[in-house]
Structures are given as structure tokens and as C-alpha cells.
Amino acid sequence: MGLLHSPDRGRHHPTPGDRTAQEDPAAREGPPNDPTPDAPLTGAQPVGVEPVGVDAVDPAPSDERPEHTRRRRRPGPFTLLALPGLTVVLGFAGVMAATGRLPSPWSEDSDAHPATAGSSATDRVDASYVPWLREAARTCSLLKPSVLAAQIDRSSGWNTDPATLSGTVGIAGFTESQWRTWGKDADGNGKSSPRDPVDAIMALARQDCALAEDVTRLRTRGTVSGDLLDLTLAAYTVGTDSVTRAGRVPATARTYLTEVKDLSARYRTFDREENANPGTGKASGVLAPPVTTLVISSPFGSRKHPLTGVTKLHTGVDFAAPRNAPVSAARQGQVVFAGMTKAYGNRVVIDHGTIGGRRLETTYSHMSSLLVTAGQSVETGTAVGFVGSTGLSTGPHLHFEVLVDGAYTDPMPWLAVAR
């Protein structure tokens, strides 16, 4: 299977470091007992016909016709001329397809399914694009090279100039208006173009990361819920407004999510080595305990929700505590949200800025009442509210979350006090 390339295939892209046969009418036969003779009867008796085993008698007029004897027909012109030629043509086509010189309708390069099962990612993607996929994935912590590659595969099958009726251009399928927003000259060749694969890869990452920020804000306020990557991909394919109205991944986006996730598995070799768990090493002890005693009633990780019965990621840690016990800020920062939400009840979100180049946020939910407002600066230990059971809750507790670059992570390794 060949890689789909632009007309200028072979041009070196600088890396981030450099910049059925028809029936013969003549062969058609009538029914087996076709009464039609070869020549019309004129009423005269057949010549030379004599009864066997009886005396000859004078022939008498009879209405009976002699039994028709079929004559074996000769091959028609189709059999003599067309069929041998067709056989030669089909044989030649088979040889060409077998040698890869003629595309098969079931080949891996079929437009109906650009990346068929079993295809090699490295065969489909120009090797010079891989460093750029990795560079683009660094735009925000949510992205991975395999996800970007899967989006491109889903959009164009890595065809650098796909013909579409929607007006999209290039491997990432940007429209003119979208390109005006996200497009830049990423490879420094003096031109910004959606037809330039490097420019398109970097632009796709910028678009995805901007959508991730929008979705993060919605999720922080309790407007939407779900996995951040799922919500971001949903916003990419159906729009942020649709995600907001649904409050989760809309049904209209699920097919796209499934296809991208399936495709991303083929490009995992492009993923750079994951960073160390943000909850290990230097992260340990960064945050102070938000409540006096850390008694875990439900840990971070997948679980069945006690009220909804849905199994999904529990995005934080639940600390059991008496009603109206004080809740304090785990680190200095600025309150970016403080208010009532449907699922989280009374909720506070604090932005702590960046640590080691990564944005750190903490959240405090289900409180009975709040003591801070959005825009307020707080110090470590500042009281932000009181333990409660507002929102979707079964009893008094604090739901505490840690987000790194908008992604939920296990809060416990970040806390100064061990479990």
C-alpha cells in the first residue's frame, strides 16, 4: 500500500529542530418441443417417410407434422471473437492488481476506507511529518500524536489535496474561515497554507487545544460532564454549542469519537514517552490538606456512581467529614469560580498558576455554603466554605479534585500529608 502524498511528494519538510458476458443471440434456442419446422409446411406429405413394421398403405392427408430435429448450432460471433478478448483483458487486469499497479476496490488505498485494518501507520504517513505530530501534541497536555494522526486519517486519509463538496482543504480538512483563525506558517517556508501538511498539523493542534480550554471552563462550572478528550473531540466535530446543550458528549458526535479512537490505536508508535506521573516526585507535598482529617470515603478512579448507577471516572477524592467542617484552600491562587452547580452543588475552583510549566487547579464541591467569590485571591489555608451535601451527594463530604493542564489526576500524591 502506498502513502498518499501531495504532488510535491519527496520535498523535505524541516523538522521542528531545523525549521458478466452478454448472451449470443445466435445461440438462443427455442423450447424443447418447438413445433416450428425448419421450413414451412405446404400441406404435402413428408417425402420418404414410411411406417415401420406394417404394410405400406397409400398415404393419406394428415394434419400431423414431423417431429422437429434440432440442429446443433455453431459458435456465435461473441464466442469466437469477444470472449477470448475479454479473457485476455481480465487476465491482464488481474496481473496488474496483483503487482500493485492497478488499485483494487478492496485495497488499503480505497477511498471508502482510507486506513483499513492491519495497515501500517508508518507506511501511511511521511516520516518527516512524525516530528511535527509530536511537536503539535506539546501544544497542550491533552493531545497525543496518535490522536492528531487519527483525526487527520479520519478527515482525509492523509490525502494532501482531497476533493470535497464541503470546501475543506488539505489533510486536516480546514475551511477558509477556519484557516484564517488557526493557520500559521509553521515550517517557515514563507507561506501559510492548509495544503501544507506541516502547517495543517500544527493548526489542528491549536484548534483542539482551544476547544479543550472552552470545554474545561464548561466542565469547571458543572455545565457539562465527561472525559475531557471526549468532550473536546465532540466539540471539534459538532461544535461547542451542541456539547453545551447536551451537557455531555452529544449522540451526534459518538460515531466520530469511536472512529477516531479506533484509528488512534494504529498510530500509538508516534506517541512520545509519557511524562512521569504528575503526582510523583516534585509534585508530592505541593498541596495542603483541604480538610483537617483526610478520611477517604471514595478514591480517585473508575467507579459506579451511588446515585446514577453509571460507571465512569470518579474525577477526585471524597473526604468524609462532619457537616459544616471548614474547607480551606490547598494552595495560594485565585478563585475562578464560586457558585451552585447541578451535580457538584456548591463548588469553588482555584487557579494556582503554573508549576513546572504546567497549569494547576483545585476544586472543592458539595459544600453547604461558600466563603469566597470569583476573582478573589486566597492563600494556603484560607477558608473557602463548609462541608455539606449539596448537588448529587449521599451525605456530608468534600469532593476534592486536582487538574493539571485541564486534565483530572489523582489528588493524593499532590498532598503534603500521606494517606
pLDDT digits (tens, 9 = 90+) for 296-333: 998 988 777 666 666 767 889 999 999 999 999 999 99
Q: Which of 357-390 are b and which e, b meaning 16 or more Cβ less than 10 Å from the residue's Cβ?
A: eebbbbbbbbbbebbbeeebebeeebebbbbbeb
Instruction: Look up cell 486536516; give the residue.
Output: 172
Q: How far apart are CA 322 and CA 291, in angstroms?
A: 10
∠ CA 295-301-303, rounded to 5°? 95
Q: Does residue 45 sit in helix, strand or coil? A: coil
Distance CA 340, CA 323 (A): 17
Question: Which residues are CB-neighbours of 113 under 8 A, at least 6 positions away?
Answer: none
Among the residue ranges 279-283, 363-367, 385-389, the one predicted with the least confidence is: 279-283
Cell of 244: 453545551
Burial (CB count within 10 angstroms: exposed 0-12, middle 13-18, buried 19+), residue 5: middle
Q: Which residue has the higher pLDDT, 201 or 294?
A: 201
**Closest to 126 in 3D by CA, of 171, 179, 188, 168:** 171
Q: Are 151 and 204 in contact (CB under 8 A)?
A: yes
Mean of pLDDT values over 159-179: 80
pLDDT of residue 126: 84
- For the chain, give the number of residues: 419
> Where do the H-state alpha helices sit in 140-292?
145-156, 176-182, 197-220, 228-238, 240-246, 254-264
pLDDT on residue 76: 60
The pLDDT of residue 14: 57
Per-residue pLDDT of 120-152, as tens digits, reads: 555 778 888 888 898 898 888 889 999 999 999
Phi, psi of 290 (to 5 degrees): -80, -20
Q: Which is higher by pLDDT, 239 or 274?
A: 239
Q: What is the pLDDT of residue 77?
A: 58
Q: Is the pLDDT of residue 20 over 60?
A: no
User: 58 pLDDT exceeds 50?
Assistant: no
Q: How confident is the model at residue 30 (pLDDT cuts 50, 70, 90)?
A: very low
- For residue 26, give the nearest of 74, 93, 89 by alpha carbon: 74
Angle at the Cα of 37 (from 32 to 41), degrees rounded to 5? 150
* Structural element, H or E, at residue 116: none
pLDDT band at 383 (very low <50, low <70, confident <90, very high): very high
415 phi and psi angles, rounded to 5 deg: -85, 145
Q: Please, which residues bridge with residue 404 across strands?
A: 360, 407
pLDDT of residue 262: 93
pLDDT tens figures, 248-288: 999 999 999 999 999 999 998 888 644 434 333 345 568 99
Residue 11's CB is within 10 A of a number of other CB atoms, namely 11
What pLDDT digit, counting tens, does each position of 349-360 carry? 999 998 877 889
Q: Are 279 and 360 in contact (CB under 8 A)?
A: no
pLDDT grade, residue 377 (50/70/90)? very high
Position 361 scores a pLDDT of 94
All structural domains of the chain = 124-270 (1.10.530.10), 281-414 (2.70.70.10)
Quote the mean pLDDT of the chain. Answer: 75
Least confident of 44-58, 85-99, 183-197, 401-415: 44-58
Q: Which of 288, 306, 290, 318 is nearest to 397 (CA)?
A: 318
- Distance separating alpha carbons of residues 361 and 242, to the nearest angstrom: 26
pLDDT at res. 357: 77
- For residue 168, the one-letter residue type is T
344, 418, 416: which is closest to 381 by C-alpha?
416
pLDDT at 202 over 90: yes
**Among 222, 258, 228, 68, CA closest to 142:** 228
Of 105-114, 139-148, 361-370, 396-405, the poorest mean pLDDT is in 105-114
C-alpha cell at 350: 482555584
**Predicted confidence (pLDDT) at residue 15 exceeds the cutoff of 90:** no
Gyration radius of the chain over CA positions = 38
Residue 395: which pLDDT band, with cuts at 50, 70 and 90? very high
Environment class of 155 (CB within 10 Å of its CB; exposed 0-12, middle 13-18, buried 19+):
buried
Question: Which residues, in sequence order, are CB contacts of 88 under 8 Å at separation 6+?
Answer: none
**Residue 21: which residues within 8 A CB-CB, separation 6 or more?**
78, 82, 83, 86
DSSP symbol at 304? E
Buried b or exposed e, range 14-48, using 16+ CB within 10 angstroms = ebeeeeeeeebeeeeeeeeeeeeeeeeeeeeeeee
Residue with cell 476506507: 113
User: Which three-class secondary structure state does DSSP give residue 123?
Assistant: helix
